[in-house]
Amino acid sequence: MPEHPYILHITERPLWDAARETGTYEMSTRGRTLAEEGFIHCSTRAQLRPVANFLYGSEDAPDDLVVLVVDPARLGVPVKYEAPEPGGEEFPHVYGPIPVDAVVDVEVWE
């Protein structure tokens, strides 16, 4: 059972702004869509900093990052906790688009 009810997804503000216009967020991770990956990568609060450093820790990283705080109960699609390799740390994966109304908060990433 997850330690917190919400899951998190770090993204670029323009991608979130575009999702607000269409009604759903469909980016899986930096540079890859839900259609390409099959699910949307998320994290717990404890996993967020290492994930952010991995994805956006380079010099070419955008400076307008936000963290989407997602309520899994509002998704309407499965969330599975899965490890990238057997025995590894499990991360929440959202198997479908994230409706904008499932995002209960948007935090600026510093």
What's the CATH code of the domain at 82?
Answer: 3.20.170.20
**Beta-strand pair 91-94/40-41:** antiparallel
Evaluate whether residue 38 is within a structural domain. Answer: yes
Evaluate whether residue 41 is within a structural domain. Answer: yes
Please state, as a whole number, how many other Cβ atoms lie within 10 Å of the Cβ of residue 77: 14
The predicted pLDDT at position 4 comes to 58
The predicted pLDDT at position 13 comes to 96
Which parts of the chain have pLDDT scores under 50? 1
The token pair at 57 is: 């820790």
Evaluate whether residue 1 is within a structural domain. Answer: no
> DSSP 3-state assignment of 101?
helix
The predicted pLDDT at position 57 comes to 81
> DSSP 3-state assignment of 94?
strand
Evaluate whether residue 81 is within a structural domain. Answer: yes
How many separate domains does the chain show? 1
The token pair at 96 is: 């479908």
The predicted pLDDT at position 1 comes to 42
Domain extent at residue 61: 7-108
Evaluate whether residue 31 is within a structural domain. Answer: yes
Evaluate whether residue 2 is within a structural domain. Answer: no
The predicted pLDDT at position 68 comes to 97
